[in-house]
């Protein structure tokens, strides 16, 4: 990431070192740090410091009774030992992956399809576009509430519609049955996340000159070939980045699973994020929860590193 040459600099290096220029240079850099300092202060105080405390917490043994005086507890790797040897960890990781892929892949497919559709000129497009983007503005908990009602075992409209069409014979208790619960928490999450893909991919597509499609059509390219040779190259990098950013977000998502199932039934929807919360605020195993959080972060980091060079190109 650091090997890439710097983009063209807005700050030309001082060619002569007259005192006046040096002073000006110093004033510039003071201003640069001054304007950046609120950002750094907020990120430092409310992310770096809690992260430091979390690491400290994860390394403390014994029953943690006083969170403000952690030094009373001995330093140890026991929490990590507990977490890493727990056979449940693998299941939690698998569930987190299933949830993440189950959300990101369909959300991306819907987002790409809609972006391609909305990039075409047809009457009513101006009304349709904000409508399909709307779920993004709906709070996750409201989405959860709507879907928990629609998926209700006795009176849910989803059961009614599926019965009418003949896909199911009798009602399914989507959120209560451990075979369907994961699907039932994935569905609302897709609904909330697909607009983000539409937003990004549509913006990318709008920068593609229409002549490219004209030319492709003149050459007799089928819609499929047009997609492969014009559309896809235009959105490929943005897609990779959007998938990674959304993927990391979904991997630690809390707002959908927790209100819908709390991680149940029978841990069927217990992802790492939910497990961390339950360890901390249900069982008050703060040390274990913190260690689990650090492990989750490490997994995210590893996935990110594996996610390839697209991201590095963007942020290098």
User: Restricting to residues 228-287, which ones interact with another protein according to CB under 8 A?
Assistant: 237-238, 241-242, 245, 248-249, 252, 254-255, 258-260, 272-274, 276-277, 280-281, 286
Half-sphere exposure of 299 (CA within 13 A, CB side): 21
73 counts as binding another protein under rule CB under 8 A = no
Rg (CA), the chain: 25
- Chain CA centroid to CA 4, Å: 27
111 counts as binding another protein under rule CB under 8 A = no
46 counts as binding another protein under rule CB under 8 A = yes
293 counts as binding another protein under rule CB under 8 A = yes
Q: What minimum distance in Å lies between the beta carbon of 271 and another protein?
A: 10
Q: What torsion, rounded to 10 degrees, do the Cα atoms 43, 47, 52, 56 define?
A: 170
Query: Is the CB of residue 67 less than 8 Å from the CB of residue 285?
Result: no
97 counts as binding another protein under rule CB under 8 A = no
Q: What minimum distance in Å lies between the beta carbon of 264 and another protein?
A: 12
* The binder of another protein chosen from 104, 143, 172, 184 (CB under 8 A): 143
205 counts as binding another protein under rule CB under 8 A = yes
45 counts as binding another protein under rule CB under 8 A = yes
C-alpha–C-alpha distance, residues 115 and 132, integer Å: 10
C-alpha–C-alpha distance, residues 221 and 53, integer Å: 59
* The binder of another protein chosen from 21, 141, 153, 228 (CB under 8 A): 141
Q: Name the DSSP letter for residue 4.
A: S
* The binder of another protein chosen from 20, 90, 121, 218 (CB under 8 A): 121
* The binder of another protein chosen from 80, 99, 108, 147 (CB under 8 A): 147
> Angle CA(290)–CA(292)–CA(293) in degrees, nearest 5?
65
């Amino acid at each position: 990431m650091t090997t890439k040459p710097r983009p063209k600099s807005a700050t030309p290096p001082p060619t002569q070192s007259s005192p006046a220029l040096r002073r000006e240079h110093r004033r510039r850099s003071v201003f640069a740090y001054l304007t950046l300092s609120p950002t750094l202060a907020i990120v430092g105080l409310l992310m770096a410091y809690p992260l430091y405390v979390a690491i400290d917490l994860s390394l403390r043994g014994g029953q943690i009774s006083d969170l403000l005086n952690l030094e009373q507890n001995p330093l140890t790797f026991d929490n990590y030992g507990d977490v890493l040897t727990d056979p449940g960890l693998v299941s939690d990781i698998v569930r987190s992956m299933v949830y993440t892929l189950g959300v990101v892949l369909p959300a991306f497919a819907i987002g790409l399809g809609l972006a391609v559709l909305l990039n075409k000129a047809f009457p009513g497009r101006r009304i349709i576009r904000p409508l399909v983007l709307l779920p993004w503005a709906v709070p996750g908990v409201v989405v959860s509430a709507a879907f928990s009602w629609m998926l209700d075992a006795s009176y849910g409209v989803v059961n009614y519609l599926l019965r009418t069409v003949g896909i199911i014979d009798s009602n399914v208790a989507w959120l209560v049955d451990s075979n369907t619960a994961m699907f039932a928490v994935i569905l609302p999450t897709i609904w909330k996340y697909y607009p983000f893909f539409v937003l990004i991919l549509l913006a990318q597509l709008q920068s593609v000159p229409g002549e490219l499609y004209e030319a492709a059509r003149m050459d007799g390219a089928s819609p499929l070939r047009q997609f492969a040779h014009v559309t896809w190259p235009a959105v490929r990098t943005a897609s990779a980045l959007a998938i990674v950013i959304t993927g990391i977000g979904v991997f630690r998502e809390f707002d959908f699973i927790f209100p819908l199932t709390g991680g149940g039934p029978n841990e069927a929807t217990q992802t790492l994020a939910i497990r961390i919360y339950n360890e901390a605020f249900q069982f008050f195993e703060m040390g274990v929860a913190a260690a689990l959080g650090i492990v989750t972060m490490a997994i995210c980091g590893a996935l990110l590193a594996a996610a390839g060079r697209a991201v590095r190109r963007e942020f290098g």
